[in-house]
C-alpha cells in the first residue's frame, strides 16, 4: 500500500494520536479587573484519542447517569459552584459527594495539562491581549509535547468553545498567526483550531472547564486549600517527563506571566 492510502485508495489522514480541548477562567479585559480574581487562565487538556474514547467519555457519561439519570447535562464549573440549574443539590452532603466523585474521576484518568495564568495587575504592557499571550505560550508548549511524543509532523486539532462572532474571528486570526511561524521556534506549528458551540456536550471541553479555575485560584490564593489543584499538579507537562510529575512544572506546563522568579526561563 502506498503511503497516504488505505483500503481502496482512500487517503489516510495525517492526524496525530492526540486531541486538545481548551477553556478559560476569568476575562481577558484589562480595563476592569476583578480584585478578587485578577487573572486570566487558559487551560489545554491533551488526550490520547484512543484512551479518550475508551476511558474518559464513558467515565463522565456514567457519572452523569448516576447523578442525573441522563447524559444530556453539561458540566460547567460556574454552575456547579453557584448551584445553578440542574446543580441545585439536596444538601451539603450531596454536593460534597458529587464533587468528591468528580474529583476522583479527574485524578484517576490520564491526560496532560498545559496552562497559562496572566496576572492582569502586573502586566506592564497594557496593549497586550491576555488571551493572545496565553494562547501563544500554550501552543508553543503543545508543540514541545508533540515533539516529545513523536507527533510533531502530524496535525493535532485544538478544540475551543465559541465565544461570539468577533471574539472567535480574533482568536482564529491569532491562532493562525502563531501557527504560521510567529512563535519562539520561528517555524509553522501543525495545529488546527476547531470551534464548538457552547451547547456542545463534549467531555473534553467540560473537563477543560472544570480545571481552569482551580489553576487560577492556586495563584490568586496560594495559601487556601485547593484539593482540585493538588490533583491537577500531577497532570502538568513537566521537566523530566512523567517520572517527575507533580514537580518541576512551573514555567513548563504552567506559565505565569509576568514571570515569577521561580519560573524556568523560556
- Of the pLDDT bands very low, low, confident and very high (cuts 50, 70, 90), residue 248 is low
Burial bucket for residue 226 (CB in 10 Å: 0-12, 13-18, 19+):
middle
**Predicted pLDDT at 265:** 43
Residue 174 lies in a domain: yes
Whole-angstrom distance, CA of residue 263 vs CA of residue 250 = 6
Residue 263 lies in a domain: no
Residue 7 lies in a domain: no
**Predicted pLDDT at 259:** 75
49-74 average pLDDT score: 97
Per residue in 83-128, pLDDT (tens digit) is: 999 999 989 999 999 999 999 999 999 999 999 999 999 987 877 8
Phi-psi group of 102: left, alpha or beta (phi > 0 → left; psi -120 to 50 → alpha; rest → beta): alpha
32-55 average pLDDT score: 96
Comparing 12-16, 37-41, 71-75, 210-214, which segment has the lowest mean pLDDT? 12-16
Range of the domain at 145: 15-257
DSSP assignment of 210-250 equals HHHHHHHHHHHSTTS--HHHHHHTTTB--TT-GGGTTSS-B
134-157 average pLDDT score: 97
Phi-psi group of 251: left, alpha or beta (phi > 0 → left; psi -120 to 50 → alpha; rest → beta): left
- Of the pLDDT bands very low, low, confident and very high (cuts 50, 70, 90), residue 262 is very low
- 198 vs 259: which has the higher pLDDT: 198
pLDDT reading at 244 higher than 60? no
- Of the pLDDT bands very low, low, confident and very high (cuts 50, 70, 90), residue 205 is very high
What is the β-pairing status of strands 155-161 and 15-25? Answer: parallel
Residue 178 lies in a domain: yes
- 230 vs 240: which has the higher pLDDT: 230
**Predicted pLDDT at 187:** 97
**Predicted pLDDT at 13:** 76
**Predicted pLDDT at 242:** 47
Helices 57-68 and 92-108, packing angle to 10 deg: 170
Q: What is the CATH number of the domain that holds 37?
A: 3.30.420.10
Taking the complete model, does pTM exceed 0.85, yes or no?
yes
What is the β-pairing status of strands 191-196 and 155-161? Answer: parallel
Total structural domains within the chain: 1
Of all residues in the chain, what percent carry a pLDDT higher than 90?
79
- Residue 220: Cβ within 10 Å count: 18
- Of the pLDDT bands very low, low, confident and very high (cuts 50, 70, 90), residue 249 is low
Residue 85 lies in a domain: yes
35-56 average pLDDT score: 97
What is the residue-averaged pLDDT of the chain?
Answer: 90
Residue 36 lies in a domain: yes
37-53 average pLDDT score: 97
**Predicted pLDDT at 250:** 63
**Predicted pLDDT at 4:** 45
Residue 5 lies in a domain: no
pLDDT reading at 131 higher than 90? yes
Residue 25 lies in a domain: yes
**Predicted pLDDT at 243:** 45
Of all residues in the chain, what percent carry a pLDDT higher than 70?
88
Amino acid at each position: 500500500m502506498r503511503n497516504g492510502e488505505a483500503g481502496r485508495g482512500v487517503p489516510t489522514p495525517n492526524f496525530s494520536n492526540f486531541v486538545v480541548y481548551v477553556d478559560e477562567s476569568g476575562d481577558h479585559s484589562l480595563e476592569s479587573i476583578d480584585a478578587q480574581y485578577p487573572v486570566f487562565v487558559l487551560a489545554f487538556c491533551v488526550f490520547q484519542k484512543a484512551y479518550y474514547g475508551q476511558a474518559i467519555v464513558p467515565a463522565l457519561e456514567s457519572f452523569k447517569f448516576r447523578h442525573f439519570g441522563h447524559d444530556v447535562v453539561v458540566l460547567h464549573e460556574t454552575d456547579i459552584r453557584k448551584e445553578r440549574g440542574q446543580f441545585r443539590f439536596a444538601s451539603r452532603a450531596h454536593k460534597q459527594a458529587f464533587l468528591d466523585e468528580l474529583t476522583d474521576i479527574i485524578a484517576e484518568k490520564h491526560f496532560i495539562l498545559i496552562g497559562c495564568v496572566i496576572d492582569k495587575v502586573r502586566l506592564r504592557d497594557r496593549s497586550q491581549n491576555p488571551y493572545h499571550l496565553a494562547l501563544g505560550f500554550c501552543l508553543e508548549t503543545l508543540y514541545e509535547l508533540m515533539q516529545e511524543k513523536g507527533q510533531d509532523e502530524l496535525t493535532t486539532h485544538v478544540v475551543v468553545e465559541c465565544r461570539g462572532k468577533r471574539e472567535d474571528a480574533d482568536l482564529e486570526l491569532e491562532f493562525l498567526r502563531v501557527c504560521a511561524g510567529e512563535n519562539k521556534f520561528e517555524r509553522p506549528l501543525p495545529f488546527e483550531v476547531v470551534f464548538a458551540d457552547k451547547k456542545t456536550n463534549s467531555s473534553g471541553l467540560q473537563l477543560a472547564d472544570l480545571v481552569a479555575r482551580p489553576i487560577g485560584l492556586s495563584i490568586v490564593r496560594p495559601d487556601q486549600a485547593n484539593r482540585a489543584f493538588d490533583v491537577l499538579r500531577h497532570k502538568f507537562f513537566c521537566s523530566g517527563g512523567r517520572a517527575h510529575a507533580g514537580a518541576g512544572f512551573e514555567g513548563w506546563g504552567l506559565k505565569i506571566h509576568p514571570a515569577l522568579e521561580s519560573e524556568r526561563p523560556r
